[in-house]
């Protein structure tokens, strides 16, 4: 029997170096559009590179994106085990 996926957490709680899959955007249409423009969408795998105050710098594929504290509280991710996480 396969392990159940970890419960989603706010991106702000993901530790530096950890990876997660975006599972939900707890914001309006404007926030979703803005994130799509940055290449971030539900299902994207991201890795936390740096904590910058309340914000974060994340990697998504080859892109690096700085996100403010208001956004990282509204992005929910499923933490990924190290063997499923891409290298940044």
Q: How confident is the model at residue 1 (pLDDT cuts 50, 70, 90)?
A: very low
Q: Is residue 4 part of a domain?
A: no
What is the average pLDDT across 44-60?
A: 93
Percentage of the chain with pLDDT > 90? 72
Q: Which structural domain range is residue 76 located in?
A: 9-84
Q: Cβ distance 47 to 88 under 8 Å?
A: yes
Question: Please, how many CA atoms are within 13 Å of residue 49, restricted to the half-sphere of its CB?
Answer: 16
> Is 13 a member of any domain?
yes
CATH number of the domain bearing residue 59: 2.30.30.90
| Residue where the block lists tokens 């899959």 | 21
For residue 80 the two structure tokens come to 């990924």
pLDDT (average), residues 42-66? 93
pTM score of the predicted model? 0.85
Predicted confidence band of residue 4 (pLDDT cuts 50, 70, 90): low
Is residue 74 included in any domain, yes or no?
yes
Total domains in the chain come to: 1
Give a yes or no: residue 43 inside a domain: yes
72 lies in some domain: yes
């Amino acid at each position: 029997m396969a392990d159940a996926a970890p419960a989603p957490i706010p991106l702000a709680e993901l530790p530096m170096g950890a990876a997660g899959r975006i599972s939900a955007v707890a914001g309006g249409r404007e926030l979703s559009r803005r994130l799509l423009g940055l290449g971030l969408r539900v299902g994207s795998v991201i890795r936390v590179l740096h904590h910058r105050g309340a914000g974060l710098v994340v990697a998504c594929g080859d892109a690096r994106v700085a996100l403010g504290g208001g956004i990282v509280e509204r992005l929910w991710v499923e933490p990924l085990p190290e063997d499923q996480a891409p290298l940044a």
